[in-house]
Chains A and B, each alone.
Chain A
């Protein structure tokens, strides 16, 4: 195991999470504004997660080739669900009284989203991000099968040659990574939750 592999793995996780957040939140907002179309979108996003990642990687490899792009796209599709769903749930859970008050003050839809709904839903959205990131650490392991690199190769090799130490060390590093991200995002989440009062009584 080399540092390079660790960084490769981190690269896959961070880049895919960046994109999944960049796409997931706007999609989540869309599903909130258009509940009917949103239902379809949520079902599709649901489906993405039911298909095994490895299968998606295999399929996409035929288009994008055996490289990290294939891995990242597959991961983004797979990880959309927690973010889209939590954004949707978060926005829907904002107190209707606050939404109406925002309207009564004269806010337009965008101002209401930006200064009331999104901030109020943010701790929900952070939870979604946290789930996505931690899942990403595990899912990126499959990257090795389509030439994406990362720590998956350690586990794969360890299994092939039945080297217990290799498997354990790879697993430990992955667990460490998960715990680190989980803790970091959990910390942000807590801080976020502390700022706002839980309004519903």
Chain B
């Protein structure tokens, strides 16, 4: 578990990070998004202490990063940036072996690990191990970057706009690969991007940052449907991101009302987890103009009307 506690950073008198606090559970995929210069990279680089915080502290599994051995801290956090981060003077195999070597793994163990990792992304050892980064395509380079970060099975990985320089198709493929690997290995990921589509696809949770502050901390769908302020909704609108109808549930479509048990028998009550398709069926079959939504405890917490749906759609235009 990672815990940021009121982190601040100044360069001279200039505040760059103005009090950032959040927690990331083990195995969570957290995307930090925001406009250029919002402080997202600085925030993440403080985790492996490439940058030291001016105030506040960061805990990993309850231990302050300040109290950890710097090398141990860094070797336990994988680090992926755009493909420029591969060492051009090293072969694919040497690049992947960097952290195992720092940790003094023996040769055989390292070799087996390199083979295993290359297999994972369908790049045969015999064909690719001896190649230099410049001999690879952008997508292949980035795969190697990811493998290098995974080499010693670190519990945490930082990814700073790792797919920014890739073409859309390759990016799509790599996103899926990374998400799959992350789920399988239950890795905690801090992922930086300014691409809302990418955030939607990858994140369990999105932190929206601007001017050194977190403006919203929410699951992707919630951020999209209920942006905390004008700026976030503008950011989302500009990138033309929207939630697919098939992903919407009653909870997304409703407008909150005061919780009360419904006595009138004639009304229709749906579960807050019900999908759009089921809700549509109710409308069609019963001809009512409003549906009530109940939560886990059976209390009515919201109402879906044509107006509520239109208002929701308006927010996304």
- On chain A, the residues within 8 Å of B81 by CB distance are 97, 101
- On chain B, the residues within 8 Å of A102 by CB distance are 87
Task: Please state if A108 and B87 are interface contacts (CB–CB under 8 Å).
Answer: no
Q: Give residues 90-142 of A contacting B (CB, 8 Å).
A: 95, 97-98, 100-108, 111, 115-116, 119-120
Closest to A121 in B: B89
Task: Please state if A98 and B87 are interface contacts (CB–CB under 8 Å).
Answer: yes
Q: Does B150 count as interface, using CB distance less than 8 angstroms? A: no
Distance in angstroms from A96 CB to nearest chain B CB is: 11
- On chain B, the residues within 8 Å of A105 by CB distance are 74-75, 79, 98-99, 102, 148
Q: Does B84 count as interface, using CB distance less than 8 angstroms? A: yes
**Interface size class, chain B:** 20 to 34
Closest to A117 in B: B89
Selected contact of B98 from candidates A107, A195, A201, CB within 8 Å: A107
Against B, the Cβ 8 Å flags (1 = close, 0 = not) of A182-201 are: 00000000000001110101
- On chain A, the residues within 8 Å of B88 by CB distance are 120, 196-197, 199
Q: Does B26 count as interface, using CB distance less than 8 angstroms? A: no
In the complex where A103-B74, A107-B98, A197-B133 touch, is A116 in contact with B50 (Cβ < 8 A)?
no
Task: Please state if A95 and B84 are interface contacts (CB–CB under 8 Å).
Answer: yes
CA–CA, A103 and B79, complex, Å: 10
Distance in angstroms from B206 CB to nearest chain A CB is: 24
- On chain B, the residues within 8 Å of A111 by CB distance are 102
Q: Give residues 80-101 of B contacting A (CB, 8 Å).
A: 81, 84-85, 87-90, 98-99
In the complex where A105-B98, A106-B71 touch, is A115 in contact with B84 (Cβ < 8 A)?
no
Task: Please state if A195 and B85 are interface contacts (CB–CB under 8 Å).
Answer: no
Against A, the Cβ 8 Å flags (1 = close, 0 = not) of B145-185 are: 00010000000001000000000000000000000000000
- On chain A, the residues within 8 Å of B134 by CB distance are 196-197
Task: Please state if B89 and A107 are interface contacts (CB–CB under 8 Å).
Answer: no
Chain A residues within 8 Å of chain B by Cβ, number: 22
| Residue of B70, B72, B85, B133 with most chain A CB atoms under a 10 A cut-off | B85
Distance in angstroms from B161 CB to nearest chain A CB is: 12
Task: Please state if B132 and A195 are interface contacts (CB–CB under 8 Å).
Answer: yes
Closest to A102 in B: B87
CA–CA, A107 and B88, complex, Å: 16
- On chain B, the residues within 8 Å of A201 by CB distance are 84
Distance in angstroms from A12 CB to nearest chain B CB is: 34
CA–CA, A97 and B41, complex, Å: 13
Distance in angstroms from A188 CB to nearest chain B CB is: 15
- On chain B, the residues within 8 Å of A196 by CB distance are 88-89, 132, 134
Q: Does B48 count as interface, using CB distance less than 8 angstroms? A: yes
Task: Please state if A106 and B75 are interface contacts (CB–CB under 8 Å).
Answer: yes
Task: Please state if B50 and A103 are interface contacts (CB–CB under 8 Å).
Answer: yes
Task: Please state if B84 and A104 are interface contacts (CB–CB under 8 Å).
Answer: no
Selected contact of B102 from candidates A97, A106, A116, CB within 8 Å: A106
Distance in angstroms from A68 CB to nearest chain B CB is: 38
Closest to A111 in B: B102
Distance in angstroms from B100 CB to nearest chain A CB is: 10
Task: Please state if A106 and B89 are interface contacts (CB–CB under 8 Å).
Answer: no
Closest to B87 in A: A116
Of the A-B pairs whose beta carbons lie under 8 Å apart in the complex, a sample of 13, sorted by A's number, is A98-B84, A101-B79, A103-B74, A104-B77, A105-B74, A105-B75, A105-B148, A106-B70, A106-B72, A106-B75, A115-B87, A116-B87, A197-B133
Nearest 6 A-B pairs (CB), nearest first?
A: A197-B134, A106-B74, A106-B75, A104-B79, A119-B89, A197-B88
